[in-house]
């Protein structure tokens, strides 16, 4: 018994050390730094600044874009996940849906610069249809499109899993009782897959709040999210205090979203969860 | 039903086409002699030659792989220790606390991880570069390994360990002869996952690289901001092939893992 207790402690030591150093300490440091200005004086001014119209507007637009991205991703993903469960080799098709999410994100964003560029494929297609060349890159449309593109696999996966876990006899029962397909979907299928939808939304909304690479490459700095602002303050203006303050609010927002949508811990297993930028 | 089936097939086909369009686009133009992504002028391997002649780029590729392999190896060791630690904790409350702390790095946005690590390394006095990138990759890979290994530990029958102890095995022997072989598939899956996370990471690395040191994602980012260059296309084609190989490897391991392990048959 004595030796068992000591081995237990032995496993805990490196793990807890890692946790204190890389989980607890960084969060505390962010909170600590949020109370200092550029010169290193203790101050609450960062928090006062956060509540000025400039930062409030940025926060609101960041939430608005994240909401749009989540809604569009859900609209595309739900039918996809549903149709995937009806296919014959569904695991193979699912793997093919997930595969692009394993390709380096930067490369996909870079490809969209070509696809959406003035002489890119999309504009050539628009010419052929007769609409004519449009400015696509550096617009809200391209930003939302590329973001949705990047996030749909993370939305499809949990919904697919929820659909798979559902007992099919419930659908037969609804049909036997005379429910139309739409009614069956609304009253039976959708409520039963709500957990999947929730964790999908969580996996999209939080990273969408903090996108910064796509805003720079695809939106041409037109869109400023909380993520862009943090990056700007840390790496460009070197105002770590203000950057930390925004980070504190992002952490709070994240905690609230996690609380509202329930903690989604399990979807990491079947593939990559997010790792978006 | 037939019409419905057709419609849904078209819908799926469109989703697949959009998902693969950028990748196909990059690969297609990597063979373009024209030097841009507008129209295809002629077949060439020039861009591939350029990739292999670019010493700086090759060093960056090498850096990326060294970081990925080292960080996933170290985080696998730490992660296995973590999974064992959580597994052995008796009190439910402590267990849940450990698990939620473990998930913090998985769910938090990369920007926050990057920024907070930048503060941490500056505070401790670690120079930005190889060490800081390696440490942060280890840091965000550990929880992933824990999450891959823990379910395997939990599905292991505790009677196996009791039997080993009854037969006179010490704790080290139980660990190396019984537990680790049993959870091996989870360990491999965790290692692969950590590897792909490390290879793919941009945001965290971007914060902690400093000057003079670079990984592929960071390099592609700075090149992409300067405009289109077909050597990036060639490089991405090579990376795509590598990723496909990695995914095949990962799924092969996963499939082996999902088959019934030998020990399970003993359970009533």
Helix, strand, coil share of chain A (percent; to 5) = 75, 0, 25
Q: What pLDDT band is residue A270 in, cutting at 50, 70 and 90? A: very low
**Is residue B72 within 8 Å of B198, Cβ to Cβ?**
yes
CA–CA separation, A65 vs A45, rounded Å?
A: 27
Comparing CB atoms, the residue among B19, B26, B107 nearest residue A107 is: B26
The residue of chain A with its CA nearest to that of B143 is A19
Q: What pLDDT band is residue A262 in, cutting at 50, 70 and 90? A: low
Cβ within 8 Å, pair A207-B109 = yes
Q: Tens digits of per-residue pLDDT, A111-138?
A: 888 888 777 777 777 878 877 777 777 8
Name B232's Cβ contacts closer than 8 Å, sequence gap at least 6: A107, A110, B220, B223, B224
The residue of chain B with its CA nearest to that of A124 is B38
Quote the pTM value.
0.84
Cβ within 8 Å, pair B196-A76 = no
Q: What is the pLDDT of residue B258?
A: 58
Question: B268 CA to chain A: closest CA distance, Å?
Answer: 26
Comparing CB atoms, the residue among A7, A112, A243 nearest residue B115 is: A243
pLDDT top residue among B264 and A12: A12
Which residues in B lie closer than 8 A to residue A243 (C-beta atoms)?
115
Which residues in A lie closer than 8 A to residue B120 (C-beta atoms)?
21-22, 25-26, 29
Q: What is the mean pLDDT of chain B?
A: 85
Which residues in B lie closer than 8 A to residue A113 (C-beta atoms)?
224, 228
Cβ within 8 Å, pair B109-A210 = yes
**Is residue A254 within 8 Å of B123, Cβ to Cβ?**
no
CB neighbourhood size of B244 (10 A) = 13
Q: What average pLDDT does range B78-97 have in this prediction?
A: 90
Q: What is the pLDDT of residue B113?
A: 94
Tell whether A257 is within 8 A of chain B (Cβ). no
Question: A63 CA to chain B: closest CA distance, Å?
Answer: 14
Question: With 60 as the cut, is the pLDDT of residue A20 above it?
Answer: yes
**Is residue A219 within 8 Å of A137, Cβ to Cβ?**
no
Q: What average pLDDT does range B64-87 have in this prediction?
A: 94
Q: What is the pLDDT of residue A268?
A: 44
Q: Tens digits of per-residue pLDDT, A71-99?
A: 999 999 999 999 999 888 888 888 888 88
Q: ipTM of the assembly?
A: 0.83
**Is residue B79 within 8 Å of B142, Cβ to Cβ?**
yes
């Amino acid at each position: 018994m004595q030796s068992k207790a000591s081995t237990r402690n032995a496993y805990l030591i490196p793990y807890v050390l890692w946790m204190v150093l890389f989980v607890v300490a960084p969060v505390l440091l962010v909170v600590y730094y949020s109370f200092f200005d550029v010169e290193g004086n203790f101050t609450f001014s960062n928090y006062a600044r956060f509540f000025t119209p400039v930062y409030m507007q940025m926060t609101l637009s960041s939430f608005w874009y994240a909401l749009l991205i989540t809604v569009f991703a859900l609209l595309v993903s739900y039918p996809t996940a549903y149709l995937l469960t009806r296919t014959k080799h569904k695991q193979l098709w699912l793997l093919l849906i997930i595969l692009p999410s394993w390709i380096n994100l930067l490369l996909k964003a870079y490809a969209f610069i070509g696809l959406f560029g003035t002489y890119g494929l999309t504009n050539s297609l628009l010419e052929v249809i007769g609409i004519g060349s449009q400015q696509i890159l550096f617009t809200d449309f391209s930003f939302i499109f590329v973001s949705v593109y990047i996030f749909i696999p993370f939305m499809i996966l949990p919904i697919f899993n929820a659909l798979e876990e559902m007992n099919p006899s419930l659908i037969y029962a609804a049909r036997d009782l005379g429910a139309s397909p739409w009614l069956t979907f609304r009253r039976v299928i959708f409520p039963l897959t709500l957990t999947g939808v929730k964790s999908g939304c969580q996996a999209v909304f939080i990273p969408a709040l903090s996108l910064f690479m796509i805003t720079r490459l695809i939106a041409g700095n037109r869109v400023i999210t909380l993520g862009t602002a943090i990056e700007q303050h840390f790496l460009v203006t070197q105002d770590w205090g203000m950057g930390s303050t925004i980070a504190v609010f992002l952490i709070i927002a994240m905690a609230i979203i996690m609380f509202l949508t329930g903690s989604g811990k399990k979807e990491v297993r079947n593939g990559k969860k997010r790792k978006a930028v | 039903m037939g019409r419905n089936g057709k419609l849904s097939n078209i819908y799926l086909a469109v989703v697949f086409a959009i998902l693969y369009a950028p990748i196909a686009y990059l690969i297609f133009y990597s063979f373009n002699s024209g030097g841009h992504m507008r129209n295809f002028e002629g077949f060439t391997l020039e861009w591939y030659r350029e990739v292999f002649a670019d010493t700086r780029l090759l060093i960056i590729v090498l850096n990326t792989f060294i970081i990925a392999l080292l960080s996933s190896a170290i985080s696998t060791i730490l992660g296995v220790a973590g999974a064992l630690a959580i597994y052995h904790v008796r009190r439910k409350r402590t267990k849940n606390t450990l698990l939620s702390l473990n998930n913090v790095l998985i769910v938090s946005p990369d920007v926050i991880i990057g920024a907070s690590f930048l503060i941490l390394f500056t505070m401790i006095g670690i120079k930005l570069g190889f060490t800081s990138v390696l440490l942060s990759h280890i840091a965000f890979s550990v929880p992933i390994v824990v999450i891959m290994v823990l379910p395997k530990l939990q599905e292991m029958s505790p009677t196996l360990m009791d039997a080993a102890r009854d037969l006179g095995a010490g704790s080290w022997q139980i660990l190396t002869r019984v537990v680790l072989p049993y959870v091996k598939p989870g360990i491999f899956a965790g290692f692969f996952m950590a590897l792909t996370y490390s290879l793919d990471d941009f945001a965290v690395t971007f914060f902690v690289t400093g000057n003079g040191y670079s990984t592929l994602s960071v390099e592609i980012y700075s090149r992409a901001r300067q405009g289109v260059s077909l050597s990036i296309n060639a490089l991405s084609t090579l990376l795509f092939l590598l990723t496909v190989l990695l995914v095949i490897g990962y799924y092969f391991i996963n499939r082996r893992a999902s088959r019934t392990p030998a020990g399970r048959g003993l359970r009533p």
